[in-house]
Amino acid sequence: MKNRKLFALVLVLVLLLAGCAKSADGYAPMENIAVTQSPNSEGIYDSVSGETPEVSDRKLIRTVNLEAETEALDSLLNAVDAKVRELGGYIENRNVYTGSAYSSYQQTRRAELTVRIPAKQLDAFINHVSEAGNITSSSESAEDVTLSYVAVQSRMKALEMEEARLLELIEGAANLSELLELEKRLTEVRTELEQVTSQLRLYDNLVDYGTVKLSIREVQKLTPVEEPGFWERIGSGFVESLCNLWSFLKELVIFLVVSLPYLLPFAVAGLVVFLLIRRSVRKKRKKSKPPFETNPDN
């Protein structure tokens, strides 16, 4: 019985010594391996520097769509221009439509703008437009490009390291063939590095500056924010109908006056034709009228 206990004790000691020997040979505990190689909670890992970016340092591309109306289009456009310059932004695209009296009896002036505003000042610009005009519709989207940004940044660092290494190898090239191969690879690396750098600059511009697509329409009366009541809708609808009728009559008079040089020859020709027809009808009536008959008793 004692021999069995002694044998079991020796066996336990042998197993413990074997485990210690394996750890000393270079095997790391499983827990340490998981901590060292696992990325952060968002799956972002820089393979070059071995660092993980801060989770709070998000790369977001914000795009805002606004539809506004105003009673004075020029004044609102001037206010928008002044605010854009004040916030350090710029207008990327601008289209202004003045309307036409020949296409419709209602002249509708409107403007379409694409504005780039620094991301930190984007909310301030939206609030300013809301105060200067009447916002009828708004929407916003934010695209998270953090993963793509980190991947491009890591690729740029890897290319820069390879470029530096190639320059060192070129200085110590042993023969012409090796030199040509190294220079060929250096050209390829620099070409790809330029492309990656341009892509990174594009990301920086899209992230640093938010995009506001602003559509402005000039109206005679602003759309009420609150839903009007029954009698208010009847009254406003009747007034709007009168305004539309007046606009139609006004545009009709303008159209007739402007088109008078074209309509006058047709009016003269029509008058001549009318007079000729009238004269022909009178002649036919005279020919068909019976002669005057006298009374034989007289």
For the stretch 35-65, pLDDT in tens is 223 334 344 444 444 454 444 578 999 999 9
User: Is the same domain home to 150 and 83?
Assistant: no
Burial of 37 (0-12, 13-18, 19+ CB in 10 A): exposed
For the stretch 225-280, pLDDT in tens is 656 566 666 776 777 777 777 777 877 788 778 777 877 787 888 888 888 888 78
User: Is the same domain home to 123 and 200?
Assistant: no
Which pLDDT does position 55 carry in this prediction? 42
| CATH code of 85's domain | 3.30.70
- Between 217 and 231, the more confident residue is 217
User: Is the same domain home to 65 and 138?
Assistant: yes
State which of 209, 237, 264 marks the end of a domain.
209
User: Are residues 95 and 214 in contact, defined by beta-carbon separation less than 8 angstroms?
Assistant: no
Determine, yes or no, domain membership for 290.
no
Q: What is the mean pLDDT of residues 2-29?
A: 47
State which of 183, 209, 235 marks the end of a domain.
209
Which pLDDT does position 293 carry in this prediction? 52
Domain span at residue 82? Answer: 60-145+211-218
pLDDT confidence band for 198 (50 / 70 / 90): very high
Which pLDDT does position 199 carry in this prediction? 94
For the stretch 99-135, pLDDT in tens is 654 444 455 789 999 999 999 999 999 999 999 989 9
Which pLDDT does position 281 carry in this prediction? 78
Separation between Cα atoms, residue 149 and residue 197, nearest integer Å: 11
User: Is the same domain home to 169 and 117?
Assistant: no
Burial of 141 (0-12, 13-18, 19+ CB in 10 A): exposed
User: Is the same domain home to 67 and 80?
Assistant: yes
Q: What is the mean pLDDT of residues 206-210?
A: 94
Angle between helices 73-86 and 122-132 (to 10 degrees): 160
Determine, yes or no, domain membership for 223.
no
Determine, yes or no, domain membership for 72.
yes
CA nearest neighbour of 113 among 70, 59, 60, 61:
70
User: Is the same domain home to 64 and 141?
Assistant: yes
- Inform me whether the pLDDT recorded for 4 exceeds 70: no
For the stretch 68-105, pLDDT in tens is 999 899 999 999 999 999 999 999 999 999 865 444 44
Determine, yes or no, domain membership for 78.
yes
Which pLDDT does position 257 carry in this prediction? 80
Determine, yes or no, domain membership for 195.
yes
User: Is the same domain home to 128 and 70?
Assistant: yes
- Between 151 and 249, the more confident residue is 151
Structure tokens at 220: 């005679």
Separation between Cα atoms, residue 109 and residue 100, nearest integer Å: 9
Q: Which residues have a Cβ under 8 Å from the Cβ of 216 and sit 6 or more positions away?
A: 68, 69, 70, 73, 76, 77, 110, 111, 112, 113, 133
Separation between Cα atoms, residue 108 and residue 275, nearest integer Å: 44
- Inform me whether the pLDDT recorded for 290 exceeds 70: no
CA nearest neighbour of 262 among 98, 107, 99, 102:
102
Q: For the chain, how many structural domains are there in total?
A: 2
State which of 156, 189, 218 marks the end of a domain.
218
Separation between Cα atoms, residue 280 and residue 25, nearest integer Å: 128
Determine, yes or no, domain membership for 243.
no
User: Is the same domain home to 193 and 138?
Assistant: no
Which pLDDT does position 27 carry in this prediction? 34
User: Are residues 243 and 220 in contact, defined by beta-carbon separation less than 8 angstroms?
Assistant: yes
User: Is the same domain home to 193 and 122?
Assistant: no
- Inform me whether the pLDDT recorded for 204 exceeds 50: yes
Q: Residue with structure tokens 């609102």?
A: 76
User: Are residues 125 and 103 in contact, defined by beta-carbon separation less than 8 angstroms?
Assistant: no
User: Is the same domain home to 112 and 165?
Assistant: no
Determine, yes or no, domain membership for 13.
no
**Alpha helices by DSSP H, 97-175:** 122-132, 146-171
